[in-house]
Structure 1
Amino acid sequence: MFDFTGFQEGATAFLLAFVVAGLFTIAFKYIYQWVTPYNEKALIRAGNNTAALALAGALIGYALPLASALSHTVSLPELAAWATLAGIIQIAAFTGVRLVALPDVKARVEANEVSIGIYLAGISIAVGLLNAACMTV
């Protein structure tokens, strides 16, 4: 027999977690775009695939540890702490790559050099995977 009360409680918890995770993802996106030296919104609207790839990779790289945090935390404050840490690590990784490996990243993204977008997306996803795995330790 279907337990409607249990379903309601589970659905409410699901919706709350989903909304909170969505808000953290939106916040991360805006902070990430603020940190990058190029204007993703304008570049993507102009058809720049490189900026789209880099931003998509950053969002996936952030969503991976966020998903891990959702699976392993038991409270919203704990989720918020892990979500914040995941965002800091993702932005720090971009900043490190930008300062060390790609000091000309702004010009290369604006020139729509797709290989740089793929590289940035790959770094972001790799960092996100490691970040997610470390949350289970």
Structure 2
Amino acid sequence: MTQWIDWASIGSFLSHVAVGLGLLFIGVMVFELTTKFNDRELIKKGNVAVALKLWGKGIGLAIVIFTVWSNSLNLVDATLWGVVGIITQVVAYWVIEFIMTPKTSLAKKVEEGNVAVGVTLFAASVAVGLIVAGSLTY
């Protein structure tokens, strides 16, 4: 009888899920640290712009993690590239905030609840995630 799934495969799956979710959790925590306000508190109060900004980065990172898991040599390699994805999302936000829009505080606009800015940052974060993911298909 052929065994389709062995214990090593289950262990590999579980370790990849754990590390992937861990990277996503760490990434979201790091993204929250890049703002001067408390993202979670503003989201609890109904600030859609903050939720879009934060979870756009989360989705962008998840896209990177998906690609890394598909192309990595091993779990350590995948983890290192996942960290690169986190760093890239943070740097991309700073580039958008301070270089592309130097006369406008996007963080302040998002804190004020400007949904248009939140959607823009959401889309930018997903786009960055796609570009990074595409760059990782070596």
Q: Which runs of no fewer than 5 residues in structure 1 stay unpaired? A: none
Q: Deviations over 1:71-116 (max 9, x none)?
A: 1112121011101111111100001111121641222112111000
Deviation at 1:2, TM superposition (A): 4.9
Is it true that 1:123 corresponds to 2:124 in the alignment?
A: yes
Give the 4+ runs in structure 1 shifted more than 4 A: none
Moved more, 77-86 or 102-111: 102-111
SS in 2 for 1:26: helix
**Distance of 2:70 and 2:34 partners within structure 1:** 28
Q: Deviations over 1:16-51 (max 9, x none)?
A: 100011111111111110012332111101100000
Deviation at 1:9, TM superposition (A): 1.9
1:61 counterpart residue number: 60
Deviation at 1:8, TM superposition (A): 2.3
- State the TM-score, normalizing by the size of structure 2: 0.92
**Distance of 1:124 and 1:94 partners within structure 2:** 8
2:31 counterpart residue number: 32
1:107 counterpart residue number: 108
Q: Which runs of no fewer than 5 residues in structure 2 stay unpaired? A: none
What letter matches 2:38 in structure 1? N
- State the TM-score, normalizing by the size of structure 1: 0.93
What letter matches 2:6 in structure 1? F
Matches within 5 A, 1:1-137: 1-3=1-3, 6-100=5-99, 101=101, 103-137=104-138
* Percent identity over paired residues: 26
**Distance of 2:84 and 2:107 partners within structure 1:** 26
What letter matches 1:129 in structure 2? L
**Distance of 1:73 and 1:52 partners within structure 2:** 30
The Cα RMSD (Å) is 1.4
SS in 2 for 1:9: helix
What letter matches 2:136 in structure 1? M
SS in 2 for 1:74: coil
Q: Deviations over 1:101-133 (max 9, x none)?
A: 164122211211100000000110000000000
